[in-house]
Homo-oligomer: A and B are copies of this chain.
Amino acid sequence: MGIKDDAVEVRAQGWRTLAALHALIEAELERSLQTAAQLSVVEYTVLDALSRQDGWHMRMQQLARATALSASATTRLVNRLEDRGLLTRILCADDRRGIYTELTPAGIKLLEEARPSHDATLERALAEAQEVPELAPLVDALPKLHTAV
């Protein structure tokens, strides 16, 4: 096995680690958000993305990218949240094909209620992952990514 083959295997192992950690965190968040606010992880992601957006409105396609979902899935996701009164669709004035989505007060409220649970669960999931030998190095690496030091 040469150097080149090693690189392939290193990438594969990195990918497996990434996938495993992702699955662990997502599963815990899923349960936590479900019981705390009847929200799935993607639904929370939408509300959170909207809240971190200036003016609190995004187009469908931005939402699709933010959630890594297909266009059709995004449509139905927004439908669900709109039916629950958590956000509203707003027609674009300048581009009449486009549709903005905006958080309603109820959406903001639910997000604020869910956020502590989300954050605590994330912290707990990362702590659990650190107990797993294969995952620990990745958990350690995560907070070092964006520190502006």
Contact = CB atoms under 8 A, between A and B. Distances in A.
A25 B17 contact: no
A24 B137 contact: no
Contact of A12 (B21, B122, B137): B122
Nearest to A10: B143
Interface of A is mostly: helix
Contacts of A142: 11, 14-15, 17-18, 138
B19 A21 contact: no
A143 to B, nearest CB: 5
Nearest to A141: B141
Contacts of A7: 143
Interface string A21-39: 1111111000000000000
A131 to B, nearest CB: 15
Contact of A18 (B10, B21, B123, B137): B21
B15 A122 contact: yes
A81 to B, nearest CB: 19
A13 interface: yes
Nearest to A49: B16
Interface of A: 7-8, 10-15, 17-27, 68, 119, 122-123, 126, 137-138, 141-147
